[in-house]
Amino acid sequence: MAPEQAPASPSPAASLAALIWSFRVTQALHVAATLGLADLLADGPRSVAALAAATGAHAPTLRRLLRALTTVALLTEDEQGCFATTPLGDHLRADHPRSLRALATLTGDPFIWAAWGDLCRSILTGAPAFARVYGEPDFDYLAKRPALAATFHATMTGFSRSTLPDLLTAYDFAGHARIVDVGGGQGALLRGILERYPRAAGVLFDLPFVVAEARELRGTAVAGRCELVGGDMFRAVPAGGDAYLLKLIVHDWDDDAALRVLRHCRAGIVARGRLLVLEAVVAPSNAPDPAKWADLNMLVMRGGRERTADEFRALYTAAGFRLARIIPAGAVSVIEGIPV
């Protein structure tokens, strides 16, 4: 009997070709998410005809998309030609507790897609591609497009929901009476913290058009303990907090802009307060690290960056904080600063 042969690993050229073509997966996932295919498969396998009827898609062409998605373990096809989601594909459902539907929709949307198309110019100039492609910064662009802004904030809310359990395990908020969430989006993070700490009060601070929605807080049991404040963090942040949360905020900006926001937090924080920046800390080594890709996304979208521990330390010192601890909390770390 012939000895069992290990499957031949792809040649370097084939591996490179797969990397080069990987953009196709992003766009196919975008279409699947936009059409809500995983939602339509929530109750089990369905035929192409049924999926086409429900989405208004051209049936024979939809079948080609579905077939391609079986090759990346998103869907399976049975002998009757019906398609079903895999555990991976289930995350594209809107109602999944760890839904990535909004992320898939947003990433293939021209909002991110077209900006990334101009990555080379960002690398050559150091300037964000988005503003060059669209003629204005991305948060200004979102402010005029409510449907896209809703998808953006749903994406961020999805991240917050999946971060919360790790964050609540990693960090004890018990000492904090008034927690200010700077750039808190729809309020998912603050809601989760206030639900856990019934004596704490919160302030959700974001751009006025974002706070006007606050859809994660309105009508909830914690709404009475949470103030909603609209404003511009480059001008001021609400004063008198003993914890200033900035989740996925500092990485949006270059050092000058980030410093302005941190200095406003320094001006507002009570003497024994804590600055709590929640984001990735880039590994200094050559180790693979998703933050090294998120870093390019921040560059392209708004000239921001992911930072190493040393870079955070320097930023904190310049803003009047001492970097006290870096506490891993799942996908992000709590980068704790003490006012000095």
Binding interface with ligand SAH (CB under 6 A): 139, 156, 159-160, 183-185, 206-207, 210, 232-234, 247-249, 252
CA separation (Å) from 221 to 25, 189, 225, 323? Answer: 41, 14, 9, 34
Q: Which of 30, 176, 251, 264 is catalytic?
A: 251
Question: How near is the Cβ of 274 to ligand SAH at its closest, in Å?
Answer: 17
Which alpha helices (H) appear in the chain, and where do they start and end?
Answer: 12-20, 23-35, 37-40, 48-55, 59-70, 87-90, 101-108, 110-116, 119-125, 129-134, 138-143, 146-170, 188-196, 208-211, 255-268, 291-302, 309-319
| 251 tagged catalytic | yes
Distance CA 169, CA 177 (A): 19
In one-letter notation, the amino acid at residue 252 is D
Distance CA 202, CA 224 (A): 9
Within 10 angstroms of residue 118's Cβ, the number of other Cβ atoms is 15
Which alpha helices (H) appear in 246-308, and where do they start and end?
Answer: 255-268, 291-302
Identify which of residues 123 and 236 has a Cβ nearer to ligand SAH in the complex.
236
Identify which of residues 62 and 154 has a Cβ nearer to ligand SAH in the complex.
154
Question: How near is the Cβ of 332 to ligand SAH at its closest, in Å?
Answer: 9
Identify which of residues 57 and 298 has a Cβ nearer to ligand SAH in the complex.
298
3-state helix, strand, coil in the chain (%, to 5): 50, 15, 35
Identify which of residues 69 and 233 has a Cβ nearer to ligand SAH in the complex.
233
In the bound complex, which residue of the shown chain has the CB atom lying closest to ligand SAH?
A: 183
Question: How near is the Cβ of 95 to ligand SAH at its closest, in Å?
Answer: 19
Count of residues for the chain?
Answer: 340
Identify which of residues 45 and 137 has a Cβ nearer to ligand SAH in the complex.
137
Question: How near is the Cβ of 193 to ligand SAH at its closest, in Å?
Answer: 12
Question: How near is the Cβ of 184 to ligand SAH at its closest, in Å?
Answer: 5
Residues designated as active site: 251
